[in-house]
């Protein structure tokens, strides 16, 4: 039974068995008592951004409903990353698993520990393509104000027509 607030998680891995890391992170999300996973996207392969030079990423987006506040989800995300062997040593460096809280309903949070929606998600095709695959009617909480509440898929399609 779906419950609570709709959220989206971004998953990424570029170390070791990348698919296994994604599957284990999805299983850990599913096992959290206050998370009901709705649908995972397809996995996309994308080049790593920034330095250092590193292996290509596998990325996916997962939709879920939660009965937990955002900071509680952040704690769960950090636990899942730790259980998956994630060690934060280099910003944007190689990682066994990366779990991001992309969106928490239509909430906007701009805190020192958590920013929701993810501040760079609209710039990243490896986030937006999988998200729109599983939820084409999704509207970004702040971008929706600019686009007149149009779903992001409609905005992206319109931008492609002009390019």
From first to last of its 163 residues, the chain has per-residue pLDDT tens of: 446 999 999 999 998 999 999 999 999 999 998 999 999 999 999 888 766 667 899 999 999 999 999 999 999 989 898 888 666 666 666 788 989 999 999 999 999 999 999 988 888 889 999 999 999 989 888 875 555 555 665 555 444 443 3
Instruction: Read off the tokens for 153.
Output: 């898929």
CB-CB contact of 58 with 22 (8 Å): yes
pLDDT in tens, 24-45: 999 999 999 899 999 999 999 9
CB-CB contact of 64 with 37 (8 Å): yes
Active-site pick, 18, 98, 120, 124: 98
Instruction: Read off the tokens for 140.
Output: 């970004």
- DSSP three-state, residue 69: coil
- Mark 89-114 as b/e (b = at least 16 C-beta within 10 Å): eeeeebbbbbbbbbbbeeeeeeeeee
Look at phi and psi of residue 65 and say left if phi exceeds 0, alpha if psi is from -120 to 50, else beta.
Answer: beta
pLDDT of 69: 93
Say what the pTM is. 0.84
Instruction: Read off the tokens for 54.
Output: 């590193």
- Based on the residue annotation, tell me whether 86 is a catalytic residue of this protein: yes
Using a 10 angstrom Cβ sphere, with 0-12 exposed, 13-18 middle and 19 or more buried, the burial of residue 14 is buried
Residue 151 φ/ψ, nearest 5 degrees: -60, 150
Active-site pick, 51, 78, 100, 124: 100
Distances (CA, A) of 152 to 77, 106, 119, 140, 158: 25, 14, 15, 7, 10
Domain 5-127 superfamily per CATH:
7,8-Dihydro-6-hydroxymethylpterin-pyrophosphokinase HPPK (3.30.70.560)
- Based on the residue annotation, tell me whether 51 is a catalytic residue of this protein: no
Active-site pick, 17, 86, 88, 120: 86
Active-site pick, 67, 95, 120, 124: 95
- Based on the residue annotation, tell me whether 28 is a catalytic residue of this protein: no
pLDDT of 89: 66
The domain locations on the chain are 5-127
pLDDT of 93: 64
């Amino acid at each position: 039974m779906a419950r609570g607030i709709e959220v989206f998680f971004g998953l990424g891995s570029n170390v070791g068995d990348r698919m296994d890391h994604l599957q284990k992170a999805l299983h850990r999300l599913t096992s959290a008592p206050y998370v009901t996973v709705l649908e995972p996207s397809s996995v996309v392969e994308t080049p790593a951004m920034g330095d250092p030079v590193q292996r290509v990423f596998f990325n996916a987006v997962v939709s879920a409903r939660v009965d937990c506040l955002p900071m509680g989800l952040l704690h769960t995300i950090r636990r899942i990353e730790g259980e998956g062997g994630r060690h934060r040593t280099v910003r944007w460096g190689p990682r066994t698993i990366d779990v991001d809280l992309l969106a928490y309903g239509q909430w906007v949070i701009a805190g020192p520990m958590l920013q929701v929606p993810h501040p760079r998600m609209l710039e990243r095709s490896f986030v937006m393509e999988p998200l729109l695959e599983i939820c084409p009617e999704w509207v970004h909480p702040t971008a929706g104000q600019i686009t007149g509440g149009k779903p992001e898929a409609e905005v992206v399609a319109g931008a492609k027509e002009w390019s």
